[in-house]
Amino acid sequence: MKIIMLGAPGAGKGTQAKKIAEKYQIPHISTGDIFRANIKNGTELGKKAKTYMDQGLLVPDELVCDLVVDRVKQEDCKNGYILDGFPRTIPQAESLDAALAALGESMDYAINVEVPDENIVNRMSGRRACVGCGATYHVVYAPTKKEGICDACGAELILRDDDKPETVQKRLSVYHEQTQPLIDYYRNKGILKDVDGTMEMDAVFQAITEILGA
């Protein structure tokens, strides 16, 4: 079972990807994790990626795709995997399809977690992060016992720049411009499944497992 998770930043696709990985015992693969692992292990691909990242440049599509394909060839992916955060653009999707086709494989599902922009802005602007231990909370959905203070270590909580409404709006604009076309791409391939991401987290998961034939 090979799955691509799609959805705007803050739509909750990462959370759902982890739950799917747990239930079906398949790896949850995020490009960030792949980069870190390859750089840490000093692989050839990792060294190449690092030269771009050290200069503050985006890692080229071809190299990102090589890193992902290298990862999905590993033994723990033999029963499937979930890609989270890749592909982000049509060229990346085309590279991935071509690389998988060369292995005699193809993706089975692209699950799109749909949440309106205004919900995402409200959701993310309610997030709070601990300056001490990095724990995250939400003023509505996961509040701390004492307002503004971390339950775990007692340090103060902050609204990260990333979660400020104006930053979230910018990230959503980039998402709609770059990643929205992927939704049509996978719809045309007949593997796209839409899920209402405004439901309770467990209800979203339930809807996904129904799609996957759990």
CB 145 within 8 A of CB 137: no
CB 121 within 8 A of CB 171: no
Catalytic site residues?
A: 13, 88, 127, 160, 171
Exposed (0-12), middle (13-18) or buried (19+): which is 85, by Cβ within 10 Å? Answer: buried
Length of the chain: 214
Whole-angstrom Cα distance, residue 83 to residue 183?
15
Alpha carbon separation from 104 to 98, 108, 190 (Å, rounded): 10, 13, 18
Phi and psi of 11, rounded to 5°?
A: -75, -15
Alpha carbon separation from 206 to 26, 33, 34, 45 (Å, rounded): 17, 26, 28, 37
Closest CA to 116 of 1, 3, 13, 7: 7
